[in-house]
Amino acid sequence: MAESSILLEFAFFIVFALLGTVVSLKLRQPYVVGLLIFGALAGPHILGLVSDTSLISTFSELGAILLLFAIGIEFSVSKILKSGFRAVAITLAKMLALFFFGYELAIHFNLDLTTSLFAGAIISITSTAILYKIVSQKGMAKHPLLPLLFSMLIVEDIVAVAALTFFSSIGSTSATYEDKFYSVLIALGLLGAFYLFVRRHVSKALARLMQSFTEEVAIFLAFSVCLVMSLVAAFFGLTPAIGAFLAGSIVSSLPNARKIESTMKPLLLMFAALFFLSLGMRIDPSAVIANLPFAASLTAVFVFVCFIAVFTLLYITGATPQSAVFGASAMVVMGEFSLLIASEATGEYSGMLLAVGSFGVVISAIVSSFLLDKQERTLLSLRSVTPSWFKSSAYHLSLYFGGLVRDFSPKGNFWKVSRACWRCVAEKLIRIAAIAFLAGVMRFLLQISKVEATLVLQLRWAIFIFAILPILYYLYQIFKELKPVFDALSHTIARHREDSADEQMILRNLVTIGVLIFIAANLPDIVRYLQLPAIFDFADDVFFVLALIFAWDLLRHAARLHQKRKKIRARAKKRK
């Protein structure tokens, strides 16, 4: 009787997944929207057709692993490198802005720190699957800005995987958030080292095996890699989904990866659909209604901040206003990682977070679809409400950040100078490491030897002196080698006009340094006032580093001004 009940509930899974997908396609909406809605209908909170929580949990966990595996197969480092610094900078700035406003809104609603962190993370991430579905349905899949947007989404996916790992560990121990953050970083480092160590060997082995077997066996081999990497991630104390993500990237490196992906795609899509359906079944509509003000506010903040942030960041880094509006309209949609993170919540607000996240996915997908249809009207509205002084400032910012992106890109000036200097520096770093290693070995041998204590102390000092002198010499040589890098960095960040006088550059640098130091000195108080986690205290270091960069630029121009004045005085003496 129990077996027939499970079979019946599984049948409802399939039927409602089909209904959700078909209705979404008929209404020209992303299938995730339909799956969440129909999952909520079939789930235990409304119709109760599927009430087995263990079955729902199984499909949720298995679907999450296979969804991350599918995303990993799509992952490509070359796509990120093609867009380079621009994609990474825009993505991190956009995610930071969204996290800040989501976190502060949750604090405003008197939610606890953990729930506020979840709220900030939930609205920080744009959906890759839903974005692609919407633009494809509207015939915009060939838009020239899409490669950049997908590079940004890849960066988001990587950050989201790390965030998912962090949030999955929040309820596991009583340690502070900072301790958990650093423990997750260590675990990610260990998993990353394991991944880098086995990737090439596993890829070669899989490539040889797949040449000898049929496609069916190749699929099982790919899933075996997914299972092994998931278990390895769990062994390091991480969520199995991150292991599946890395397994997908291993499969993507195979020569016949596209063929394997096309063969596995229907199965992966089915489990992805069951995952979103199972998440929908966990949604309690009464939780949505009870928390409707918070859900509506969080969704509104996401839509507004995401649109403004993406539009501004795209425009100031070189996009036309038309392309910036397209990019902002397309990116205004929450998605799978938001729900994955929300599903990791435990405790009093776990149901509320999943309900709020699902509400945001549905509403933001509809808003994104509407904005893509009304791009011209949106652009006209932005132009009409934007004051002229802001347009002028935005233009100057676009010149500054456009140059910044060019210099930091793989073909830019800073990148070229850094690569050239690194070749010289690497050899000296190896020598320093060798000297330090030899000194360490000699100190160890002294410790295990039977030499008198006073002689051991003298020999240890001798080893230290003989090691530190060449190390200091090589450090000095490295500093000399890196001077062009520091010059290029200060030139890139400061970005003075070519016709500016050295006196003007020095004055501007002095003012900028003063402002940066003032911000850095007051930032810890601002962090405490905004009730941000203590880990954000490091932000003042960023401003101190920027102040040092401008100070280096000031010294560079001061030296150049000094040389000019020496030449003028020398000419004056000759005339006399």
For residue 305, count other CB atoms closer than 10 A to its CB: 19
pLDDT tens digits, one per residue of 127-144:
776 777 777 777 787 788
- Write out pLDDT tens, residues 57-88: 777 778 777 777 877 776 655 555 555 678 88
pLDDT per residue as tens digits for the range 142-195: 788 887 887 788 778 778 777 777 777 665 545 565 666 666 666 666 666 766
Look-up of token digits 């006009």:
497
Higher pLDDT, 182 or 551: 551
Q: Rounded CA gap, 183 and 172, in Å?
A: 12
What pLDDT, on a 0 to 100 scale, did the predictor assign at position 308? 92
State the chain's mean pLDDT as an integer.
Answer: 78
Phi first, then psi: give them for residue 76, nearest 5 degrees: -145, 120
pLDDT value of residue 326:
92
Residue 453 predicted with pLDDT over 90: no
CA dist., res. 317 & res. 312, Å (int): 9
SS3 of 101-133:
HHHHHHHHCCCCHHHHHHHHHHCCCCCHHHHHH
Residue with more model confidence, 509 or 501: 509
**pTM of the predicted structure, to 2 decimals:** 0.73
pLDDT in tens, 7-49: 787 788 788 888 888 887 787 777 777 887 888 888 887 888 8
Tens digits of residue pLDDT in 464-482: 888 888 888 888 888 888 8
Measured at the alpha carbon of residue 193, what is the angle toward residues 189 and 194, in degrees to the nearest 5?
120
Q: What is the pLDDT of residue 252?
A: 74
- Separation between Cα atoms, residue 555 and residue 491, nearest integer Å: 12
Query: With bands split at pLDDT 50, 70 and 90, how would you rate the model's confidence at 98?
Result: very high
Q: Is the model's pLDDT at 1 over the cut of 50? A: no
The CA–CA distances, whole Å, from 53 to 48, 59, 301, 388, 571 equal 11, 10, 33, 57, 89
pLDDT tens digits, 340-355: 788 777 777 777 888 8
Question: What is the DSSP secondary structure assignment for residue 175, as one 8-state letter?
Answer: S
pLDDT at 440: 80
Classify each residue of 146-177 as buried b or exposed e, where b means 16 or more C-beta atoms within 10 Å of its C-beta: bebbbbbbbbbbbbbbbbbbbbbbbeeeeeee
CB-CB contact of 462 with 451 (8 Å): no
Buried-state track 236-255, b at ≥16 Cβ within 10 A, e below 16:
bbbbbbbbbbbbbbbbbbbe
Q: Does pLDDT of 543 surpass 80?
A: yes
Q: Token pair 């002294």 is at which residue?
A: 446
Mean pLDDT for the stretch of residues 440-451: 75
| pLDDT tens column, 247-265 | 887 777 776 667 667 777 7
The whole-number pLDDT of residue 171 equals 53
Asked whether the predicted pLDDT for residue 316 surpasses 90, the reply is no
Q: What DSSP element (H or E) covers 528? A: helix 502-529
The DSSP call for residue 561 is H
Burial (CB < 10 A; 0-12, 13-18, 19+), residue 538, is exposed
Looking at residues 388-409, what average pLDDT do you find? Answer: 77
As a dihedral over the C-alpha atoms of residue 180, residue 186, residue 187, residue 192, rounded to 10 degrees, the angle is: 140
How much of the chain exceeds pLDDT 90, in percent?
6
Residue holding tokens 């397994």? Answer: 247
pLDDT of residue 499: 58
